[in-house]
């Protein structure tokens, strides 16, 4: 279950729907685990990660991309990796 194999989002959804309805064979298990890995990675991106501000740039807490601030104002998500961003003044 290490590396996520090449699978489209649509393929992953279909695989998870098959599993939900218990319509899978033993041969589907590798793809099932890959679909689970993709779903977990997507859900993790929805949990806001703290940003840091360095020399007028906002740095994504996930991929490390620098985003110009305040020209771009407050992004909710990193434009590079899609990670939800948590600003310091936001409540937990």
Residues contacting 37, CB < 8 A, separation 6+: 1, 4
Q: How confident is the model at residue 1 (pLDDT cuts 50, 70, 90)?
A: very low
pLDDT per residue as tens digits for the range 7-50: 888 888 888 888 877 877 766 788 888 889 999 999 999 999 99
| CB-side neighbour CA atoms (13 Å) of 10 | 0
Mean pLDDT of the chain: 82
pLDDT at 63 over 90: yes
Question: How far apart are alpha carbons 88 and 25 in whole angstroms?
Answer: 47
Q: Strand locations in 17-91, DSSP E?
A: 49-50, 52-54, 57-59, 66-68, 85-86
Question: How far apart are alpha carbons 41 and 7 in whole angstroms?
Answer: 13
The three-class DSSP label of residue 36 is helix
Global pTM? 0.66
The domain ranges of the chain are 9-45, 46-92
């Amino acid at each position: 279950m290490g590396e996520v194999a090449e699978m489209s989002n649509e393929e992953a959804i279909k695989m998870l729907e098959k599993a939900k309805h218990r319509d899978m064979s033993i041969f589907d298990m590798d793809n099932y685990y890959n679909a689970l890995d993709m779903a977990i990675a997507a859900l993790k991106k929805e949990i806001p990660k703290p940003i840091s501000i360095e020399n007028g740039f906002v740095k994504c807490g996930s991929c490390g991309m620098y985003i110009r601030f305040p020209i771009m104002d407050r992004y909710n998500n990193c434009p590079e990796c899609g990670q939800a961003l948590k600003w310091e003044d936001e409540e937990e």
